[in-house]
Amino acid sequence: MSLHFELGSAIDAAFGDALEAPVEHKQDAMIVRLKNGVTLDVRYASVDAYSLRWRYGEAESGIDTAPLHPELATFPNHFHDAAGHVIADPITRPDLSPEENLQKLIRTLLDDPMYGIQDTL
């Protein structure tokens, strides 16, 4: 998907000093490895349909837009914390560009690599 290549280039340019290595491209995803130990798996099916999962150590959290939780204020996007709770997404918005959403998430994870994880350990 060309969107992944465009996003990867933008992330390499904006966060190069904070990356462990250049963005890695897979068939349907990108892997972003931050120097602080966070690994972020990025999957965009379209500009408003995405799955963003990150790991720090053995714990994993994520944000996606699967339309499964209509009761949440941010429907369809929602946040999965490491304990398995699903809450309104505090970071991304489907009406923002993929680059804006990904940059917001990376900034959050650079500031707090245990975001979505620390309350569950």
Q: Among candidates 90, 86, 97, 83, which has minimal Cα distance to 44? A: 97
| 74 against 119, higher pLDDT | 74
CB-neighbour burial class of residue 25 (10 A; exposed 0-12, middle 13-18, buried 19+): middle
Q: What percent of the chain has pLDDT over 70?
A: 96
pLDDT digits (tens, 9 = 90+) for 85-104: 999 999 999 899 999 999 99
Q: Among candidates 29, 60, 61, which has minimal Cα distance to 43? A: 29
Place of tokens 């990025």: 42
Residue 116, pLDDT score: 80
pLDDT digits (tens, 9 = 90+) for 6-56: 999 999 999 999 999 999 999 999 999 999 999 999 999 999 999 999 999
CB-neighbour burial class of residue 101 (10 A; exposed 0-12, middle 13-18, buried 19+): buried
Q: What percent of the chain has pLDDT over 90?
A: 80
